[in-house]
Amino acid sequence: MAVTLAQPGVYIEEVPSGVRTITGVATSIGLFIGWAKRGSIEEGQRIFSFADFEREYGGLDQRSYLGYAVRSFFDNGGTDAYVIRIAKTKLGEGDTGEAAATATAKLNGMDLTASSPGEWAKNYSVRLTKRAAPDAKRFKLEVLLGKPDDNVVVEVYENLSKDSADPRFVEAIVNSNSHVFTIKVPSSPADPADGTATLGDSSGTPGKDGDVLDPNADPAKTLIPALFDTGGVADKLDLFNLVCVPGLTDGPTIGTLQAGCKKKRAFLIVDPPEDATIDNAASKAAACIGSDPSYAGFYFPWVRATDPLQDGGIRNFPPCGYVAGVMARTDASRGVWKAPAGTDSVLNGVLGFKVPMSDAQNGALNPKAVNCLRTLPVYGNVVWGSRTLDGDNDRGSEWKYVPVRRMALFLEESLFRGTQWVVFEPNDEPLWAQIRLNIGAFMQQLFRQGAFQGATPRQAYFVKCDRTTTTQADINLGVVNILVGFAPLKPAEFVVLQIQQIAGEIAT
């Protein structure tokens, strides 16, 4: 706003520059979906280490590949992920299986409920200790792990009250802080009395794990794609980039998930069937092609690694968690535009692969969009392919390579978030100039980091927003059109060395 000029003198006015910095979004936040013995099924939980997964979802469980995939993600360079637990919470008509159930108990007239379904709750007790007079209406709650006599306290809540008007009302304090249980106070509560209740004891109902859900069978085949529907658990998450459903090999389900990944601007890492062979790997990959195959990549074969739950015995595991970790590590060290493959894409914690292969066998699979995992002399176990499911040579897609697709997703998400300020601004040349300035500055920064082809900005990218992109008809409809182009870096899959002898001089 202009300064009111009344008295002669010098006036200072700050003028906005019109620059709104666009910040690049994260590119390697994982999303892991699968069955677990513990954890919320109503929302995805964000974790930053495998220790977080152990605390929220109970750690490794031989009945599910989920924990192993999360562990390999963090072991290979991942630092940030969401986990969505799937579980059967009710039985369908004629279903003879078991549904997951949440443990309950009663303590001093209050209803205790475990924070999530599962048998895990039977290992926890809640102890109430009332305070002495004159504070006899206040009490302490302690959450105990193991038998009550073990006295292993994992949570403590002091100076609580059953009075809903009290700032230390037990429901408000416990339900917003506890990882183990929630509590409900009756409308006419009794005075506090010392006591202990075990979640799922005879005063309530026991918790049940329910049937372990195979991602390739019903009801998981229905539950998993529905997570991406409007209002679904995955749809409500703010941002994730790498989607893993460990052990999912059902082609139609994978094809449906590709549409969900497109909607959320994420990339799906596809596992092959455990029994896939070199002869049928290409057909297994083709069976996973849906309507949006460039949003997924197929990695073959399964890996061989030790299982801590079997005293170090060696088992086969789906590769998605390992590959997601390598992608996160590559993004951090080189950028999302670098193919997450090559001699520096070593798979940590891998002893070998279920199906070793030769160069010739790899050469037959690579043109069919099968990304091979190889054991190479000197370098060890590495990712040796970087094609999307749209990368079959016969398809001729411009989205053939994983880094090209992921770079585009990064640009789309960053520009989508960075241009929200444009909405409701006057739609004319001053706005268009600001748009060109802000997006151009963002693209120039990426160019200087080596994210595009070309020796000059003109060769690397362009930003257009003017009368040629936004006509008067668009303006009348309230539309501004922004055109952003970039020259993507593509991996050097084939390095050709030409060697020639130098002929000696011939005397004449």
373-432 confidence digits (pLDDT tens): 999 999 999 999 999 999 999 999 999 999 999 999 999 999 999 999 999 999 999 999
Between the CA atoms of 89, 90, 91 and 93, what dihedral angle is there, to the nearest 10 degrees?
-140
Give the separation between CA 226 and CA 234, rounded to whole angstroms. Answer: 9
Q: Which position has the token pair 């006057």?
A: 426
CA distances from 273 to 217, 250, 355 (A): 14, 8, 12
The predicted structure's pLDDT at residue 495: 81
421 φ, ψ (degrees, to nearest 5): -65, -20
Q: DSSP secondary-structure letter at 148?
A: G
The predicted structure's pLDDT at residue 167: 94
pTM here is 0.93
CB contact at 8 A, 301 and 345: no
Give the separation between CA 341 and CA 373, rounded to whole angstroms. Answer: 9
Instruction: Give the domain ranges of the chain.
Output: 30-88+212-403, 104-198, 426-508
The predicted structure's pLDDT at residue 506: 66
Q: Which of 114, 140, 136, 111 is nearest to 127 (CA)?
A: 140
Which residues of the chain carry a pLDDT beneath 50? none
Interstrand relation of 296-300 and 371-376 (parallel, antiparallel or unpaired): parallel
The predicted structure's pLDDT at residue 146: 87
Give the separation between CA 285 and CA 249, rounded to whole angstroms. Answer: 10
Q: Which of 484, 477, 486 is nearest to 435 (CA)?
A: 484
Q: Is 264 left (phi over 0), alpha (psi -120 to 50) or beta?
A: alpha
CATH tag for 30-88+212-403 (out of 3.60.10.10, 3.90.180.10, 3.40.50.11780, 3.40.50.2300) = 3.40.50.11780
The predicted structure's pLDDT at residue 3: 75
Give percent of the chain with pLDDT exceeding 70.
Answer: 98
What number of residues does the chain have?
Answer: 508
CB-CB neighbours of 467 under 10 Å? 12
CB contact at 8 A, 124 and 180: yes
Give the separation between CA 286 and CA 391, rounded to whole angstroms. Answer: 11
Answer yes or no: same fold for 30-88+212-403 and 104-198: no
CATH 3.90.1200.10 fits 104-198, yes or no: no
